[in-house]
Structures are given as structure tokens and as C-alpha cells.
Structure 1
Amino acid sequence: MIVRIVKMTFRKDTADTFKDYTNEIKETIRNFEGCLHLNIYRDIQDPLYSFPIHTGNQKII
């Protein structure tokens, strides 16, 4: 099992756009082969974090 914590920082004028886009496609990402879990969080100071969990048996993009 592979657990990743991915910190993403965006310009303030683009963070909401990215968050909205990610909310639209997160089910598609969750359905990738080997993806067991995916959540997207926003920190109080604006960075976004993704927490995907994979089986570890496939390529991770």
C-alpha cells in the first residue's frame, strides 16, 4: 500500500478554480486502477493537499 501526501500551492486567484476542477474529477481519479482512497483538503493558509492511497501495484502519476 502506498499513501501519498501531496502539497499543492497556487496563486490565490487560481486556487478556487483548481479546487472546483478537482471536485469535478475526483470520482474519476478514485476509479483509477489501484486507487483505494482520495481526499482533497484545503489548509487555512491556502495550500491544497491530496491524500491518495494506492494498492502499490500500478503506476502512480
Structure 2
Amino acid sequence: MLIRIVRMTFQADKTEEFLEIFRTSKEKIRAFEGCNHVELLQDLNHPNIYSTYSLWDSEVHLNNYRDSELFGQVWKATKALFADKPQAWSNVQVAV
């Protein structure tokens, strides 16, 4: 299982626009082959900072999504609203 976290800082006056993009695309992302979960988190102290937390079957599935038309549309609209460069991490669960 691959965990993908993407932290995004938005222009303060563009957060509602981003939330609408997320609302209209989240089910399509969740339905993408290999995606098991997607959720949106908001920073406690900075209301214009959001993170997506998603679970993927593998890096191949994540990359297939990132190469898709859906991602191209969602990311293009989303990145136009950024106030700062996004940060992304890919992690795998460790059984201890």
C-alpha cells in the first residue's frame, strides 16, 4: 500500500475555488483504478493550507493516475490557485 500526501498552500481568496474543484473531482479520483482512499485535510492554524491523503495499491497505480487526463485537468486548475510550491511525499506502510 502506497500512501501519498500532498501539501498545498493556496492564495487566501482562492480556497473556496479549490474546495469546489476537490468536491467535483474526489469521487472520480476515488474511482480511479488502484485508488483505495482520498481525503482532504486542512491545517489547524493556517486555513489556506490543505493536504490530500490518498492510499494507492502501488506506485504504478499512482503514476497511472498522474499520467491520466483526469489528473491533468484537476492539477491544472488547482495549481493556478497556489500561493507557494506544493510539497509531496510517497510512503509505504511499515509493519512493526
Structure 1 residues without counterparts, runs of 5 or longer: none
* Deviant stretches of 4+, over 6 Å: none
Deviation at 1:41, TM superposition (A): 1.4
Establish whether residue 55 from structure 1 lines up as the match of residue 57 from structure 2: yes
1:24-50 deviation digits (Å, cap 9, x = unpaired): 110000001100000011113121110
Q: Comparing both structures, which one devotes a greater share of its residues to helix?
A: 2
Deviation at 1:15, TM superposition (A): 1.3
> Number of paired residues?
61
1:3-60 deviation digits (Å, cap 9, x = unpaired): 0111011100111110121011100000011000000111131211100100004225
Identity of matched residues, %:
31
Structure 2 residues without counterparts, runs of 5 or longer: 67-96
Question: 2:3 maps to which residue?
Answer: 3
Which is worse superposed, 3-12 or 38-47? 38-47
Cα RMSD, aligned residues only: 1.2
What CA distance in whole angstroms lies between the structure 2 residues aligned with 1:8 and 1:16? 14
> If you compute each CA radius of gyration, which structure gives the higher value, 1 or 2?
2
Amino acid at match of 1:34: G
Amino acid at match of 2:33: E
